[in-house]
Amino acid sequence: MPSLRWNRLPDTPNAPGAGGAFVGAAGETLLCAGGSNYPARPGWEGGLKVWHDEVWTLATTRSRKWTQAGILPRAMGYGVAVSIRQGLLIAGGADSHRHYPDCYVLSLAEKELRVQPFPFLPRPLAYAAGALVGSKVVIAGGTDRPDAASASSAAYALDLANLNAGWKELPLCTGGGRMLAQAAGTKDTFYLFGGVSLAPSAKGVEREHLADCHAFTLGKEWRRIAPLPRPCAGAPSPCPVLGDRVLLVGGDDGSLAGKVEASRHPGYSKAVLAYSRTADAWSEEGEGSCGLLSTGCARWGGGFAVTNGEARPFVRSPEGWLIREE
C-alpha cells in the first residue's frame, strides 16, 4: 500500500493562526480565509475570541509566503469550504452572535479577489460537513445557532449545472444529527464519518463523539457503512480520496474532553485512518505530521493541502502541510 509524504507549507501571516478557516483551491491557488483565534491570550486565561475576514493566498508549492488578496463579506468561520470549477465555494459559517446561510465563491482575477454570491443555504448552518459529489455539492449536519441543543441530520445538495434550482433537501441522515463530522465525495457518493452529537442535559448540552459512518449515493438512500475504530470529530475535511482509499487525518476522539485542563492538553491526534470503499473496512495507517482540528483540506499542488486549525483547545496554528502519496 503506498505511503504518504508530508511536506511543510509556509505559515500563514495570521498569527497565531485560525480555527474554522475556509480552506480550498481556486484554480492553482490555495486559499485560507476567515476563522477565529485568541490573539492576545488563551481562552483559559480569559482571552477574547476574535473573528477574521482576511483571505490569504498561496500561489504555488514553491511560494515562500502567503499574500492577502482581500476580505470576506463578513468576519466568520466554521462553515463548509469546497473547491469547485468556479473557485472556492464557502457555505454557511458563524461568528459569536449567530450562524449564517451565506454562500459565496472566491476566485482570483489578476491576483485580485472576486467574491461571487451563490445560492444561499435554506437555513443558517455552521459546523457542517460537505464535499463535491460529481457535479453536486453536498452538505450534511451542523447546527443552526450558537446555543443549539441538538445537531441537524439534514442534508442538502446544490447542482452546479443548475444553480437556479438552489439547494435541494436530501433524505435525512439515518445516523441522526451531528456536527464537526468529516466528509468525502466521489463521482456519485457522499461519505459522512463520525462527528459529535448534542443532547440537552442537566448541565446544559452534552456532547458525544461518534464513530458511526454513512454513505449517500445520489438518487438512492443513506446506508450505514463500517464504523470507525474509534470516535473521530473535527479532522480536516473534505477528506483526501486516493483511489479506493479515503483518509482521516488526525481528529479528536473525545477521550480527553472534560478530563484535562485546556492548558495541559497534549494536542490532538496525528493518527491516520484509511477507509477502503470496496472492502468497506478501516485500517490504521500510522501517524502523520498534522494534528490540526477544525480546518479544511483541498486537492492542490499534486496532493492535498491542510493549513491552520486548532492544535489543542483554544490554541490555533498557522502551519500548513501538503500530503502526497509516494
According to the model, what pLDDT value does residue 182 have?
A: 98
C-alpha 119/C-alpha 159 separation (Å) is 10
In which band, very low, low, confident or very high, does the pLDDT at 16 lie, cut at 50, 70 and 90? Answer: very high
3-state secondary structure of 194: strand
C-alpha 139/C-alpha 82 separation (Å) is 10
According to the model, what pLDDT value does residue 258 have?
A: 84
According to the model, what pLDDT value does residue 110 have?
A: 85
**pLDDT, tens only, 148-164:** 999 999 999 999 999 99
**pLDDT, tens only, 105-150:** 999 998 899 999 999 999 999 999 999 999 999 999 999 999 999 9
* % of the chain with per-residue pLDDT over 90: 95
According to the model, what pLDDT value does residue 202 have?
A: 87
C-alpha 30/C-alpha 300 separation (Å) is 7
Beginning with the edge strand found earlier in the chain, give each strand of the sheet holding 129-133 in spatial order: 129-133, 136-140, 155-159, 167-170
Q: What is the mean pLDDT of residues 240-260?
A: 95
- CATH for 4-325 is 2.120.10.80
Q: What is the mean pLDDT of residues 14-42?
A: 96
According to the model, what pLDDT value does residue 204 have?
A: 87
**pLDDT, tens only, 60-78:** 999 999 999 999 999 999 9
Of 123, 122, 231, 117, which Cα lies nearest the Cα of 175?
Answer: 231
Q: Which of 33-37, 124-128, 186-190, 260-264 has the lowest mean pLDDT?
A: 260-264
CB 35 within 8 A of CB 309: no
Q: In angstroms, what CA-CA distances link 145 with 36, 194, 256, 261, 296?
A: 17, 21, 25, 26, 21
Residues ≥6 apart with Cβ < 8 Å to 93: 20, 22, 34, 76, 77, 78, 79, 99, 100, 102, 126
pTM score of the predicted model: 0.97
Q: What is the domain partition of the chain in residue ranges?
A: 4-325
| DSSP tag of 11 | P
Q: Is 306 exposed, middle or buried (0-12, 13-18, 19+ CB in 10 A)?
A: buried
**Cell, residue 303:** 496532493
Quick check: 1 pLDDT over 80? no
